[in-house]
Amino acid sequence: MSTAKAKKQKSTANSILELVVIVAVALGLALLIQAFVVKPYRIPSESMVPTLQVGQRVLVNRLTTRFGEPSVGDVTVFHPPVGSEQMPLDQCGQRMPRQTACDTPTPQESEVNFIKRIVAGPGDTISIVRGRVIRNGKPTSEPFISDTCSNDNGFACTLPRPITIPPGHWFMMGDNRGESDDSRFWGPVPTAWIIGPAFATYWPPNRINIF
């Protein structure tokens, strides 16, 4: 074999090896970013209409809850308590009086992911009237919610008896208040179960948006 041919084969082998290393590093970085920084998430239901439609994709910031607490108003991905994904919808950790939202989750964390909006945090007292949150005695401004509870005919649209959110917990509700399975039925979510807030939508292209 000539020296030139040997050098060419060696160069080709080095190029292939370099390409393999680049692909491996890129995949490793992508997995690292998804695990610790940014994670994509697909909207599976109509619970966040009109803010998010079924099939939309969002990007979730996983760093926020590592270096600080969530914020009321954030659209957030989290693990709900065990029982929240099953029927019947009422899976509260304790028996609640009628016309009262659940204030006690079951103690186990579910493996499924939900996306809802944080409407109240630790120490807040809330009630719900026609789908709108009354927090600490004052109606909150919620221009983003659907009108499915406007006639008070949706599921659990009005729960007038106040509850207080326990320390280290966050109360989640879908923007589609008459069609959302949320903290009203299975209780607030501990901080440790929160993955992070959604900060952008990236699919479909005609609905790209920054929160």
| Catalytic residue set | 47, 116
Backbone φ, ψ for residue 92 (5° rounding): -65, 150
User: What is 102-120 written as a DSSP string?
Assistant: -----SSBPSS-EEEEEEE
Alpha helices in 37-164 (DSSP H): 64-67
**Amino acid letter for position 28:** G
Q: Beta strand pairing status for 57-61 and 194-203?
A: antiparallel
Q: State both tokens at 99.
A: 């016309």
Per DSSP, 91 falls in state: -
- 16 contact partners, CB below 8 Å, separation of at least 6: none
- 176 contact partners, CB below 8 Å, separation of at least 6: 46, 47, 48, 49, 50, 145, 146, 148
